[in-house]
Amino acid sequence: DVKVTQSSRYLVKRTGEKVFLECVQDMDHENMFWYRQDPGLGLRLIYFSYDVKMKEKGDIPEGYSVSREKKERFSLILESASTNQTSMYLCASSSPGHLAKNIQYFGAGTRLSVL
């Protein structure tokens, strides 16, 4: 069974803080993704990675960066948190291969509040 683990379920941070959201998967998946989920906006892709040390911008990368130093871990970084980054953050992973890589497995999410 695929397990995607996000380090925190809830986080409260102050404006201007540097925030790290961690995601680990245990299925040797090459592909990893970070989304944010907001009411009425669905799931929006922030960044994704198809390999170690590789990263690609998604649809809303502004204000975020990522790190993929190891295959199993994909970190989302908010360099200077702002109130408009208050949201639910979801990590996902998928296996390689032309068809299989399309199926994504999600973590439980981190609800971040920036005060």
Residues 6+ apart with CB under 8 A from 66: 34, 46, 47, 49, 55, 74, 75, 76, 77
Q: Within 10 A of 89 (CB to CB), how many other CB atoms are there?
A: 24
The least distance separating another protein from the CB of residue 3, rounded to whole angstroms, comes to 11
Q: Binding residues for another protein, how many (CB under 8 A)?
A: 22
CB of 48 to another protein, least distance (A): 6
Phi, psi of 108 (to 5 degrees): -75, -15
Shortest approach of another protein to residue 106 CB, angstroms?
A: 4
Give the contact letters, 20-49, x = binds to another protein (CB under 8 A), - = no: -------------x-x----xxxxxx--x-
Which of 24, 90, 112, 114 lies at the binding interface for another protein (CB under 8 A)? 90
